[in-house]
Amino acid sequence: MRRPRMRTVAISVLALVAVVLPVLGQTKAAKSQANPIVVLDTTMGAIKVELFAAKSPVTTKNFLDYVNLGFYTGTIVHRVDFVIGLGGYTESLTAKPTMAGIKNESKNGLKNSRGTLAMARYDDPNSATSQFFINLKDNTHLDPSGGGFGYAVFGKVIEGMDVVDNIAKVKTGNKGSFSNIPMQNIVVKSAKVLSK
């Protein structure tokens, strides 16, 4: 008489597990797929950015590696024109030593539109290291065209675009070999990943 009851209980438990495990799995997957958020605290205010980990995995990891090393602390905004360039130079205009260049992910479908972050690089498409820029307008000429590479977009500003626009208004000029560089030093005080 007990066996049918035990079988019913076992079936009920299995049914419950079948329902609960996929939900837990989805929750875990959703957490692991959440885009990282980084706050760049500058002398002109904070800029919060979301990184597109799924579309730009190599670039996102590279950027986060530099963030977690504290690399960006003390670097300056070294260019202001149709973009704001940063991530490579100290206040004395000395280039910081970087890790090796990374694979170009500009063909990921993301566009260099206003407020997006993209990697700076040399003529070699795979030469991006620490330097990046924030697009001040839609810069379609920076997107890949034909069979060529563009500049890899890997994130966007989600808070602090007013800070970006204020940086864009500062007086620029020439310093050493730099042109379009702010005449006042705009320094990254810290760059930190927000805790989940």
176-185 residue pLDDT tens: 999 999 999 9
Q: Which amino acid is at 30?
A: A
Contact 190, 41 (CB under 8 A): yes
For 108-147, write each residue's pLDDT tens digit: 999 999 999 999 999 999 999 999 999 999 999 999 999 8
Q: Are 136 and 84 in contact (CB under 8 A)?
A: yes
- Written as six digits, the tokens of 159 are 């808070």
d(CA 20, CA 67): 37
- Determine the pLDDT at residue 196: 56
Q: What is the DSSP string of 3-39?
A: HHHHHHHHHHHHHHHHHHHHHHHHHHHHHHHSPPEEE
Neighbours of 39 (CB within 10 A): 16
Q: pLDDT class for 35, splitting at 50, 70, 90?
A: very high
3-class DSSP assignment, residue 126? coil
Domain ranges of the chain: 1-33, 35-193
* Three-state secondary structure call for residue 79: strand
**Out of 14-28, 124-138, 162-176, which region has the weakest mean confidence (pLDDT)?**
14-28
CA distance 176 to 181: 10
Domain 35-193 in CATH 2.40.100.10: yes
